Amino acid sequence: SRSHHTPSVSPWLIEMLHSTCLVALRRKRLETPFFPHQPEHQKALLLVVALAGLGLGLSLIFIAVYLIRFCCCRPPEPPGAKSPQPGGGCVTWSCVAALLVGCAGIGIGFYGNSETSDGVAQLSSALLHANHTLNTVDHLVFETVERLGEAVRTELTNLEEVLTQRTELVAAARGARRQAEAVAQQLQGLAFWHGVPLSPLQVAEDLSFVEEYRWLAYVLLLLLELLVCLFTLLGLAKQSKWLVIVMTVMSFVVLVLSWGSMGLEAAASVGLSDFCSNPDTYILNLTQEETGLDSDILNYYFLCNQAVSNPFQQRLTVSQRALANIHSQLQGLEREAVPQFPSAQKPLLSLEETLNVTEGNFHQLVALLHCHSLHKDYGAALRGLCEDALEGQLFLLLFSLLSAGALATALCSLPRAWALFPPSDDYDDTDDDDPFNPQAPPHRQVSLHPP
């Protein structure tokens, strides 16, 4: 079943990204598999990043034109006028609404960052589990081969020396030796990942290292924007000019960072959606290129369906038959040789113990070499990457879009709101009823008539 390859979240967002960003550049490769090393695919992703840069340039031009028009085309105020400009309240409330939208976008950004981190963590966990399975296969193979070799060198050799007087018993012991050597030879071919330069453990560690810094960078960006929004709202509430000026500069910095993160998130979303549409072909080719393994082995573990047979089935069948023959030969030797040669009982018991351990390891190998375990890890890795991580990137893209729009609106509104603040030295109005205010001495009335 390949149902795990289809992302279960936000398919219309992915389709919208494809239809709006990559229509022109991807017409020639819609029927081809995902290959990020192709120049066409790299140009498509660069186009997405360039669109974010274009949006940043247009927003900066719009803000600059708006501020120049506000500063240069404002009608002069009559001297001594203290009445607020018309529409001043609307400007302030529009700035507040934009900042509140930015705060909502920050919440979406925290959720998207967490989802992306969960997806990468699931991918790393699947790689670690697959690495454990492959290492366990190698360990069982080498342990079993070593046990069989030790049994051939010691117990079977001693048994042949004890049974030298009976030719048919020596022939049975030599047959057990040949069967043990055949099992060891067949088992050595089961450690297919031994010596492969590609290590799932190293890939998982590299992914975790990159994800840790990516998560931290986004948390710092989200906290920075949250502080800018909160302090800007505080400055508007307190009508503090210096705080609004500082937050205006910080808003400009965060606006640039938001557009930059938007470009990276859009490129990552488009690249992940391309990858997740049909990942099998690309992963098979990449793994075969990096490991040098046969395509039959890779197809068996990556596809894991009835159409692909187990490439180790013949080795497993031969080994199982050889172990069964060894077991029957040892039982025959125990019945025939022990009554006549009591000294043969000790090597026979040691061989029985070795055979039991070998059969236990063999059954574990049969279970581990089945495609179900590694294919389950493959499916979990794809779900983490194509569902959680892709969903998180889409939410981060929405956060960046809301953040850029909110900060652009705030940058246009803050100068007009700042102009409405009363001057800091405007203390002409005094309260005559305040007992702490100095009272002017009363003027003496002068009588114009003589007493």
Per residue in 224-280, pLDDT (tens digit) is: 999 999 999 898 888 888 888 899 899 999 999 999 999 999 999 998 988 888 888
pLDDT of residue 337: 82
pLDDT of residue 3: 39
3-state SS of 31-64?
Answer: CCCCCCCCHHHHHHHHHHHHHHHHHHHHHHHHHH
Q: Which residue has the tokens 């810094």?
A: 213
* Euclidean distance between CA atoms 354 and 154, whole angstroms: 12
Read off the pLDDT of each residue in 361-383 and give the average, rounded to a whole number. Answer: 93
Residue 142 pLDDT > 90: yes
Residue 328 pLDDT > 70: yes
pLDDT tens across 189-209, in order? 899 998 888 899 999 999 999
pLDDT of residue 416: 75
CA distances from 268 to 38, 41, 65, 273 (A): 16, 12, 32, 8
Who's near 191: CB < 8 A, 6+ residues apart? 137, 138, 141, 142
Q: Looking at the chain, how many residues does it have? A: 451
Q: Domains of the chain: which residue ranges? A: 48-68+91-419
CA distances from 207 to 122, 230, 288 (A): 11, 34, 21
Listed range (36-40, 127-131, 179-183) with the worst mean pLDDT: 36-40
Which range in 6-15, 42-51, 293-302 is most confidently predicted, on average pLDDT?
A: 293-302
Which pLDDT band, with edges at 50, 70 and 90, does 377 fall under? very high
* Euclidean distance between CA atoms 89 and 398, whole angstroms: 29
Q: Taking the model in full, what pTM does it have? A: 0.79
Residue 179 pLDDT > 60: yes
| Structure token pair of residue 379 | 């499916």
Read off the pLDDT of each residue in 282-301 and give the average, rounded to a whole number. Answer: 90
How many CB atoms within 10 Å of residue 23? 9
Which pLDDT band, with edges at 50, 70 and 90, does 339 fall under? confident
**Long-range CB contact pairs, 246-251, < 8 A, 24+:** 247/414, 248/411, 248/414, 248/415, 248/418, 250/224, 251/407, 251/410, 251/411, 251/414
Which pLDDT band, with edges at 50, 70 and 90, does 2 fall under? very low
CA distances from 218 to 115, 206, 221, 270, 408 (A): 12, 19, 5, 19, 20
pLDDT of residue 380: 94
Which residue type sits at 393?
A: Q
Check: CB of residue 135 under 8 Å from CB of residue 292. Answer: no
3-state SS of 288-318?
Answer: HHHHCCCHHHHHHHHHCCCCCCCCCHHHHHH
Which range in 229-238, 324-333, 394-403 is most confidently predicted, on average pLDDT?
A: 394-403
* Euclidean distance between CA atoms 361 and 367, whole angstroms: 10
CA atoms within 13 A on the CB side of 126: 19
Which residue type sits at 321?
A: R
Residue 449 pLDDT > 70: no
Question: Taking CA 224 as the corner, what is the angle to CA 220 and CA 228, rounded to the nearest 5 degrees?
Answer: 170
Mean pLDDT of the chain: 82
Read off the pLDDT of each residue in 82-101 and give the average, rounded to a whole number. Answer: 71
pLDDT of residue 96: 87
Listed range (71-85, 376-390, 415-429) with the worst mean pLDDT: 71-85
* Euclidean distance between CA atoms 79 and 144, whole angstroms: 99
Which pLDDT band, with edges at 50, 70 and 90, does 305 fall under? confident
Read off the pLDDT of each residue in 46-71 and give the average, rounded to a whole number. Answer: 85
User: Which of the pair, 100 or 26, is modelled with greater confidence?
Assistant: 100
Which range in 30-34, 362-366, 445-449 is most confidently predicted, on average pLDDT?
A: 362-366
Residue 56 pLDDT > 50: yes
Which pLDDT band, with edges at 50, 70 and 90, does 13 fall under? very low
